[in-house]
Structure 1
Amino acid sequence: MLQISTDNSGNTMGGRTTLADLAQFSFNDRDSQTMNIYQADDILRRDWRDELVDVEMEYALGVSATFKDGTKLHVAAWADCCDGSGCKHCRGY
């Protein structure tokens, strides 16, 4: 099951549906236990690159994205990035 939440308290656009609300749909069919932070970051940067202000990653916890409308999306991603054989993210460490 995917653990995901939005923070609309910083919404500067005034609409009911925010960018963070819409960005949740980029993670359909994903699971927090099998997704790593790099995969979550790749999804956000691919689907929302023009609307992102910042993306913060914390290993073994997840990713937080801030959008241009002031809203935030938090996506839990707990999986290791690879099997230790040296992927492009951790180089085997």
Structure 2
Amino acid sequence: MLGPPLDDVVDILRHAFPNGVPEEDTEAVLVVLSEGLSERNLALVVEEFTGISRYEVGQLTATALNNRRLDRAKVARVEEALRRKGWDPDED
């Protein structure tokens, strides 16, 4: 339990990806979530949802954000899937 509102983000992930995040979507998820969460909170949420250590999440996020070959259509698809489940990076 991370407490609100981080538990809400974990719930959004669980609803958007009930079978876990497919490996090919991991970078896109990190990029989308990085728009609404601090680095620390992003690491905590992803660690809670996936079991990947928060330290590794930090490294994976840095790589994803710097990946110039990241498929923007994939990022848009992941963002839409998360928005349909309640993700709003602009929400306070």
Higher strand share: 1
Shorter-chain TM-score category? 0.3 to 0.5
Q: Which has the higher contact order (CA 8 A, sep 6+)?
A: 2
Compute the TM-score of the two structures, normalised by the length of structure 1: 0.34
Structure number with bigger Rg: 1
Higher helix share: 2
